[in-house]
Amino acid sequence: MIKGIIFDLDGVICFTDKLHFAAWKQAVEPLGIAFDEQTNDKLRGVSREQSLEIILRQNNVTLPAERKAAICRVKNEIYKSLLCDMSPADVESDVRQTLIELNKLGVKLAVGSSSKNTKFILRRLDLTKFFDAVVDGEMILRTKPDPEVFLKAAELLCLSPCDCLVVEDAVSGIDAGNAGGFVTVGIGAAANYSATRHPIRKLSEVLTLV
């Protein structure tokens, strides 16, 4: 019996791909570093620092640690300024209604995301009230596919991994869920991943799994 659900944030609860793309583009292109949508797609589910490493590797660029840290700070400031335009209207009706129904059923809910802006985004979208626990990039040492973020969320929910669904849109997130002993649910690109236990096309389909 499923007692809890841990959701990834971006690509599952909300969609900020375009904002990440715009922020990275503004941060790196003035430095002569190319960035396109194909590279952006490779950044799903990984930390800001790891994302920059992928971008630099794509461009065969090597930078000192302090320069990379500065670029990450610039990207995050741009991204946060774009997030300020988000509102509850940016949440799809299927997502909000699913969270309402799960709360009514008494299922414990958490967010497990490597984003350090998770709590800010949830506040902007008026979604904080739906979750019993939030684990973000400020609370973990290792990012997906390491299962740390999901294991910490399950601990905060006082549940065992086997009693929880992990809902992810990224392959790295599915790998993290499987590694932690969770029941994995894939949406978006992760719905087509062979290691996904339950593929879904829209979030409300998780209601059939509880």
Tell me which residues are annotated as active site: 8, 10
Does the bond joining 145 to the residue before it have cis omega, within 30 degrees of 0? yes
Measured in residues, the chain has a length of: 210
Structure token digits, residue 36: 């396109």
Q: Quick check: 134 and 36 in contact, CB under 8 A? A: no
Q: Quick check: 61 and 38 in contact, CB under 8 A? A: no
Could you give the dihedral angle defined by the CA atoms of residues 127, 207, 10 and 18, in that order, rounded to the nearest 10 degrees?
Answer: -100
Beta-strand ranges (E) seen in 59-179 are 108-112, 133-135, 164-168
d(CA 155, CA 108): 12
d(CA 31, CA 79): 18
Q: Which residues lie below 8 Å from residue 158, measured CB to CB, with a gap of 6+?
A: none
